[in-house]
Structure 1
Amino acid sequence: MSKVDSNFALKVQDMFSSKYLFKQCIQAITLRDNFQYVIVKSNKEVMILQCAIENCKWSLRASCCIHGDRSLWVLTRFDFEHTYSVDVPLTDHRQATFNVIKDLIKNKISLAGSKLSTPKNIVHFICDEHGLSISYQKAWRACKVALDDIRGSLEDSYKMLPRFAYILELNNLGSVVEYKVDADDRFLYFFMALSASISGWQHCCLVIFIDGTSLKNKYGGTLLSSSTLDANYQIFPLAFCVVDSKNDSSWTWFSNQMKRIIGGRNEVVIVSNRHKRTSSWRVVDTIFHACEKTFNIVNFKHEMRLLESSAPGIREELEPIGFAKWSRAYSPRRRYNVMTTNISESLNSAMLKAKELPICSMLEVLRMMLQIWFFERRNEVDYQVTNFTKTIEGTLRDQIERSRSMKVNSVNNMKYQAIDETSQYVIYLPTKHFEFTMKHLSIKLLRGRMTMDIISSGIVGRPKKVRIPSRMKFKRRIKCGRYGRVGHNCKRFNFKF
């Protein structure tokens, strides 16, 4: 009853199931017709209202009567005509309480937030839609009450966790949902991995990104997340876990739950940013990234020497961590060209609004987010006509387009040298199902694989043609033989006295 139709009109003998519903209907009518009323009398048996402007005849009377086995409120008298002048200003409205404003904006606010999620936006909305001027405090209270009605309170949300876990497992067969409480039956951890994520993990790359982000509600906490990359190099969330903080106990419990998802897949690489960055890393950030991205140990040692020359003592900081944890050259498993946890940060950005919600509402928003993502990707795959994903197709097209301008020299029947403007490659052809032109390489892959080894990287900038002098060799300074001045000789002397 927060908003009534423009054609709705009260009449005598109208019945209402409660006094609260009757009063709510009257408040909605006053907001629609832009007038105010005052309460003359109100108790358990009768309620009398009249217009707030003096000498106005608008008034009504409702009384409580017994109808069968329940009580009803009946409108017994109603004078609907207003007799005040139209030039009476109505800047504020006493019936526009925060509960009435809450009913007006409740349908405009969703679970994950909307444009009316701030009091300032609510003030503008009420002014534009209903012509009412309300205070910031009233809009804030209305927004808080509306959000509590939609999302539930924080305390009740923790009490609903066992019921939420049961419904989630019932509607998503094969999901892993676990929670843990302490000895006093207080909340500790909650883990959620949907069946769609578990089944899709079997077709993703063997790299798992783990990260955590702080919750922004009243009781705080930390939301741990694990994700990977699918065949189209898109973010594929695996699991979410709500813990008290990032400590050894919470990480251990989260890792034990992740073992149930990983299953029998071996050679899994886990990328995490649990180690803190040192101050030396910030100074030599460019050199360090070049060191971690090298493909072989020879180049790694070269870059490591450059790193030590720029930041002495950094080797002693990196060796206890282990080169295999951050270097591509020493990694015992395939990292799929992944060196950072950037996709975890992107996932945290997608969960930005959900982190402010109560725990049950937050988990439901995350479930809805995964449902929308997986549905859209499934539809995209259904209309795909190629054997590769969209991202891989684009990469292959770029590589083929780039190979057209390469110059090819034969080494033997199965080995060729490809030269472009900046680099040289050695190409091994396990099968003969490739087509070549005489001077340029045009690859048409029919069967088999092509592997490329970089011989030398290109030189950045214009090639130097002048010999670089050694440190001990100094350039001879030219002096004028006539006056002994530096910077010119006798032929180029143009000094004027």
Structure 2
Amino acid sequence: MDLIKLKLGVSVSYSTALRGKNLAMRELRGNSEDSYKMLYSYLHMLEQVNSGTTTKVELDEAGKFKYLFIALGACIEGFKVMRKVILVDATFLKNGYGGVLVFAKAQDPNRHHYPLAFGVLDGENNASWTWFFEMLKTVIPDSSEIVFMSDRNQSLITAVANVYPQSHHGHCIWHLAQNVRNHACNTIKAVVAWRFMELARYYTLHEFESAYASFKVRYPSAFKYLEENTKRETWARVYFPGCRYNLDTSNSVESMNSAFRDARRYALIPLLDTIIKKISDWFNEHRKDAVSGSIDTKLVPLVEIHLHNLWGKAEKTPVRELNSYDLEYEVTDTDDGKVYLVNLIAKTCSCKVYDYEKYPCLHGLAAYLYFLEVPAVHGRRREVNIEYHQLSSQYYWTELWAMAYYRTIYSVPDKSEWNVPDHIKLLQIIPPKKLTRKGRKKVNRNPSVGERRKRTQNVRRPRTNFGFSWLLFGMRTNNPSEPNNPSEPN
């Protein structure tokens, strides 16, 4: 009896502690209704502590929350020295009100996340995506230099085309590869997906056409899907009209969605706090990375390491000067024996790697080493003094890399420290209608078209035969004390 009372007391204590913990977490994350009521005040303080920040809230006809857009001033200012490729994706919220969390981000030259804007929409549809890109256009104007990368959500594609008509829109080749693999027949589907991604990344038109013809013969059903449902200029590097550098998937923005997986269940203001603090941490971390290198290192580590690995081979690569004034060179690749034409002034190579990646390929580096070693002669264009880091695009210089992170991102202070005008305090938002769903709360998002959910490793259960094993396996028994044949005497 005493033991039962003890167990009951422990159970009650544990339940009380658990309720207290859940209450503390709710207080920490905030009340959902209060988040909507205080949203205008919160956004006012966010703009006060982060100059240049743009925020916008859209309500429906009944005054209920519909859309939210936030672009931090530090991010928008830093984007001026970044590659103009914007990755866009959305993920579902799990706070009981539905909607999606949207991110528009760039990627810094050393392959780090660089968020530009984020928001909350009521769903992925034409109206919501159009509103989001119209808000984005107020901080990042339309330009032919801008490239968007995303999955093939039709509403998103339509909105980009309408709001950013001068920009270029590429489709994530990883998502497309999952669709291609599902249309392959009588073959290993994973190989088809890999072959497609390899096909999309060819640098020269001749290589692409040759590989595409082979792809047609080997995987006719997958080829038919590509021809009927896609345009080559949206996924093939050689046909893409814009400059997307080495970015051809939107997977990096999806990893951001994963970084805020738990926060998607928070109320609105705690969700925004979590995102802003994480972006602030990223800025601080990458700012230190940008200034931690040697003062003599003028290229980001990614490019510096790449050129370092090529240096030894480039020194042994044969180079012949074709035009000493225009700095044109003929470079013979020792691997395939092919001859490539390099122009150091235009920063181009006939292999096209230099043209697309915007930092030297093996042939470009070999031509530059020849340019440095051969003494100046009459007729050489020596007034063009090309330094090592000038071989690459300015977007890969450490100077611009550091400028992208020079501003600090501040989180909104505690509510007790808010200084909000009365007319803003009076503005309150009605929460959207709460969703009522039956069953267990869903945490993982549904895979998009073509995606595969990773199969879990289920533990195989032992066969249950209810004592009739002799029907399946003869008269054998696993009990050593029993005879193998019941008809035989012990």
In structure 2, relative to structure 1, the CA distance for the partners of 1:402 and 1:345 (3 Å cut) is: farther
2:199 to 276, 279, 291: 291
More relative contact order, 1 or 2 (CA 8 Å, 6+ apart):
2
Q: CA deviation at 1:256?
A: 0.8
Specify which of 161, 179, 183 is matched with residue 280 of structure 1: 183
Deviations 1:317-345 (A, max 9, x none): 54553221111111111110211112112
TM-score by length of 1: 0.58
1:90–1:268 CA distance, 2 compared to 1 (3 A): same
Partners of 2:205 and 2:253 lie apart in 1 by 29
> Any conservation in 2 of the 1:223–1:241 contact (CA below 8 Å)?
yes
> Alignment partner of 2:183: what SS?
helix
2:283 pairs, out of 360, 367, 374, with 374
1:307 lines up with 2:215 in the alignment: yes
User: Which residue does 1:262 correspond to in 2?
Assistant: 140
How many Å separate the matches in 1 of 2:303 and 2:42? 39
Go from structure 1 to structure 2 and tell me whether the alpha carbon gap of 1:218 and 1:136 turns closer, same or farther (over 3 Å shift): farther
**Cα distance, 1:136 vs. partner?**
5.3
1:450/1:161 CA distance change after superposition, 3 Å: closer
- Bigger strand share: 1
Q: CA deviation at 1:138?
A: 3.4
Aligned to 1:193: 71
Residue 104 of structure 1 corresponds to none
> Is residue 2:52 matched to residue 1:170?
no
CA contact (8 A) 2:87 2:250 kept: yes
Q: Distance in 1 between matches of 2:302 and 2:141?
A: 28
Distance in 2 separating the partners of 1:209 and 1:351? 17
- Which segment drifts farther, 207-216 or 134-143? 134-143
> Which segment drifts farther, 238-247 or 259-268?
259-268
Q: Distance in 2 between matches of 1:271 and 1:88?
A: 64
1:363 aligns with one of 272, 276, 294? 272
Q: Could you tell me how far apart the structure 2 residues matched to 1:418 and 1:142 are?
A: 73
Give SS of 1:426's match. strand
TM-score normalised to structure 2 length: 0.59
Residue pairs, 1:49-448, within 5 angstroms? 91=6, 137-263=15-141, 265-275=143-153, 277=179, 279-280=182-183, 284-309=192-217, 310-312=219-221, 314-315=223-224, 317-384=226-293, 385=295, 386-404=297-315, 406-408=316-318, 410=320, 412=322, 414-421=328-335, 424=338, 426=340, 428=342, 430=344, 433-435=371-373, 446=387
Letter in 2 for 1:390: P
Aligned CA distance change for structure 1 residues 447 and 391 (closer, same or farther; 3 Å): closer
Other structure's SS at 1:266 match: coil
**Separation of aligned partners in 2, 1:298 and 1:194:** 44
Alpha-carbon shift at residue 157 of structure 1 (Å): 1.5
Identity level (%): 28
C-alpha distance in structure 1 between counterparts of 2:391 and 2:37, whole Å? 58
Q: Quickly say closer, same or farther: Cα 1:424–1:398, change in 2 above 3 A.
A: farther
Shift of residue 450, structure 1, vs aligned partner? 6.0
In structure 2, how many angstroms separate the alpha carbons of the residues matched to 1:435 and 1:136? 77
Q: Which runs of 5+ in 2 are unaligned?
A: 154-175, 346-369, 376-384, 393-490
Q: Distance in 1 between matches of 2:270 and 2:117?
A: 16
CA distance in 2, matches of 1:248, 1:429: 45
SS across alignment from 1:286 = helix
8 Å CA contact retained: 2:320, 2:330: yes
Q: 1:190–1:449: structure 2 CA closer, same or farther, 3 Å change rule? A: closer
More displaced 10-residue stretch of structure 1: 370-379 or 414-423: 414-423
- Deviation for aligned residue 1:133: 6.6
Cα offsets for 1:287-340 (capped at 9, x unmatched):
321221122333333333233331337446545532211111111111102111
Asked if structure 2 preserves the Cα contact closer than 8 Å seen for 1:273 and 1:341, the reply is yes
The Cα of 1:202 is off from its aligned counterpart by 0.5
Deviations 1:70-95 (A, max 9, x none): xxxxxxxxxxxxxxxxx99994797x
Give the deviation of 1:247 after TM superposition.
1.3
- Alignment partners' CA distance in 2, 1:411 and 1:387: 27
8 Å CA contact retained: 2:199, 2:236: yes
- Residues in 2 aligned to 1:134 and 1:93: alpha-carbon distance in whole angstroms: 6
Aligned length: 321
Deviation at 1:158, TM superposition (A): 1.9
Question: Which of the two has higher C-alpha Rg?
Answer: 1
